[in-house]
């Protein structure tokens, strides 16, 4: 296999799609730096980060006015990618102090949301937080080195992953990955998954960085997740449901809602697939899939984005996070080789960060797409 057929894990080279389309390095760097400054230190209707006391900080879900492991772990990944150690440490310190369980069935897991003062709202964890915490911590150890607890980043990451695989083996609790299928669960107690939680590019790295006894599991989990996405994504539209069974079919409606359709969680699938292609380039299906989802959205205006059945029928309900969906459609261009790739990158470049109450989720996806498309979402 030639160098240009290998992923960035092997070549250490990351595509800068903005540069390929003619934007200057100065423009690109300025856009990335401005987005960071806006989200972390910008005007009240844009920023999502808030320092707290001498050593903590949090990312606020501005639509729900709470703090989520999703946002905290995302913020840590943003910070380590941008080489911002102070913000990283503040976010980690908040998460470790207020959200991580010290004992019981959720020991070393994180309560999935709390109030901005650190008071827990729910005790249960959401596995997408744990996998992002662990990956961000490993990258921090590589970029900055391990320090005294709780900044012994690599050991903190291993502790989280150990719980994710082995919780319940010696008593109460449940693991976050199904031991039989090697697939990540929606929550530890569930018998189904969330396609947007599947990050095979993270699992490939966990196989090198986690406990030695678990390395084989993580390699198998990467393969299982890649195969799972083939079944979870619709073969014609490329759309995935928010929740799906272990065979990839949409999960039955839950007490808290009907998640069989393409909606907010699902948007992340396209960006995750594209980043896996950039880093590891293991699965040519990812190119076809990225072309499919871009073809589906090509002639739909961002203002007309809606909830869809996975076979593409629109609901009357508009998308809650249209800018986030545009961002992930643009990120798909890193894997796509079809006629729509340039369109989405240019449209995304010309679209500003979202403002207002619902900006948190959109702008997290926006920033990750900005990192990826500029060649700055990297393995450390």
CATH code matching the domain that covers 49-176, chosen among 1.50.10.10, 1.25.40.20, 3.30.342.10, 2.60.120.260:
1.50.10.10
Residues carrying CATH 1.50.10.10, the chain? 1-42+225-380, 49-176
- Sign of the alpha-carbon dihedral angle for 163, 169, 170, 171: positive
- Sign of the alpha-carbon dihedral angle for 354, 370, 203, 132: negative
What residues have CB less than 8 Å from 84, skipping those under 6 apart?
36, 40, 78
Contact 287, 277 (CB under 8 A): yes
Class (C level, CATH) for 1-42+225-380 = mainly alpha
- Of 38, 130, 178, 265, which one is the catalytic site residue? 265
Task: Based on the residue annotation, tell me whether 33 is a catalytic residue of this protein.
Answer: no
Task: Based on the residue annotation, tell me whether 70 is a catalytic residue of this protein.
Answer: yes
**104-115: string of b/e by CB count within 10 Å (b at 16+)?**
ebbebbbbbbbe
Tell me how far apart the alpha carbons of residues 302 and 140 are, in angstroms, rounded to a whole number.
35
Weakly modelled stretches of the chain, pLDDT under 70: 1-4
Contact 231, 289 (CB under 8 A): no
Whole-prediction pTM: 0.98
- Of 61, 66, 70, 204, which one is the catalytic site residue? 70
Interval 91-107: pLDDT, tens: 999 999 999 999 999 99
pLDDT reported for residue 171: 85
pLDDT reported for residue 28: 98
pLDDT reported for residue 339: 97
pLDDT reported for residue 1: 45
pLDDT reported for residue 257: 87
pLDDT reported for residue 4: 61
Contact 150, 160 (CB under 8 A): no
Alpha carbon of 140 to those of 25, 36, 174, 365: distances in Å? 25, 18, 28, 21
What residues have CB less than 8 Å from 319, skipping those under 6 apart?
263, 264, 305, 306, 307, 325
- Bridge partners for 122 per DSSP: 113
- Bridge partners for 57 per DSSP: 51
pLDDT reported for residue 111: 98
Strands 49-52 and 306-308: unpaired
């Amino acid at each position: 296999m030639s160098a240009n057929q290998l992923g960035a894990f092997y070549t250490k080279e990351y595509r800068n799609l903005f540069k390929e389309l003619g934007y200057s390095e100065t423009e690109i760097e300025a856009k990335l730096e401005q987005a960071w400054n806006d989200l972390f230190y910008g005007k009240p209707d844009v920023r999502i980060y808030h320092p707290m006391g001498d050593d903590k900080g949090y990312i606020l879900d501005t639509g729900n006015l709470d703090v989520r492991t999703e946002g905290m772990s995302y913020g840590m990944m943003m910070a380590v990618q941008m080489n911002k150690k102070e913000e990283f440490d503040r976010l980690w310190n908040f998460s470790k102090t207020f959200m991580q369980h010290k004992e019981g069935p959720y020991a070393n897991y994180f309560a999935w949301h709390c109030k901005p003062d650190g008071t827990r709202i729910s005790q249960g964890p959401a596995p997408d937080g744990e996998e992002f915490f662990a990956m961000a911590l490993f990258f921090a150890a590589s970029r900055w080195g391990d320090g005294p607890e709780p900044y012994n980043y690599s050991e903190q990451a291993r502790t989280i992953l150990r719980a994710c695989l082995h919780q319940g083996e010696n008593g109460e609790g449940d693991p976050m990955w199904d031991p039989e299928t090697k697939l990540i669960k929606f929550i530890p107690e569930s018998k189904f998954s969330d396609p947007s939680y599947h990050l095979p590019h993270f699992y490939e790295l966990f196989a090198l960085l986690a406990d030695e006894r678990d390395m084989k599991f993580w390699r198998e989990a990467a393969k299982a997740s890649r195969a799972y996405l083939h079944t979870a994504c619709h073969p014609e539209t490329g759309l995935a449901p928010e929740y799906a069974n272990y065979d990839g079919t949409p999960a039955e409606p839950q007490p808290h809602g009907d998640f069989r359709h393409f909606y907010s969680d699902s948007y992340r699938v396209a960006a995750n697939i594209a980043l896996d292609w950039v880093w590891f380039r293991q699965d040519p299906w990812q190119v076809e899939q990225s072309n499919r989802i871009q073809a589906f959205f090509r002639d739909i205006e961002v203002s007309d984005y809606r909830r869809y059945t996975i076979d593409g029928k629109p609901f009357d309900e508009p998308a809650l996070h249209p800018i986030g969906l545009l961002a992930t459609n643009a990120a798909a261009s890193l894997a796509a080789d079809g006629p729509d790739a340039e369109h989405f990158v240019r449209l995304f470049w010309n679209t500003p960060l979202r403002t207002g109450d619902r900006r948190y989720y959109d702008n997290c996806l926006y920033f990750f797409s900005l990192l990826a498309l500029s060649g700055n979402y990297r393995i450390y």
